[in-house]
Amino acid sequence: QVQLIESGMGEVQAGDSRRLSCAVSGLTFTSYAMGWFRQTLGKERELVAIISNLGGRTEYADSVKGRFTISRDDIAGTVSLQMDSLRPEDTAIYYCAASVGFGSDFRRLIEYWGSGALVTVSS
């Protein structure tokens, strides 16, 4: 049974940092690119950051470049999102995803999703 379990949800103040983690089990972790998406009420789920299956490549949404950093630990089977200089507009439910594609193919080839972690940024 494949599981993607996010942790690190909570409420922070604008300007603070927060780290999200996603623990993955039940699949061959190194065969998957991993990513983080976020969604707010009434909006589509948007891609935040992705990392290739061997960790050599990353891509970020323009809105988080320079503030968020995605990383993976292939031994522990985890993917993390370090979020710095948080803004109220970063408030969302953050989802971890595992894909057999990368770049423009990542979303289309997602095979597994986590259940989400709410991050609230107060001004």
| Residue-level pLDDT at 55 | 75
Number of H helices, E strands in the chain: 0, 11
Q: What is the pLDDT of residues 67-85, one digit of tens each?
A: 999 999 999 999 999 999 9
Q: What is the pLDDT of residues 18-75, one digit of tens each?
A: 999 999 999 999 999 999 999 999 999 999 999 999 878 999 999 999 999 999 999 9
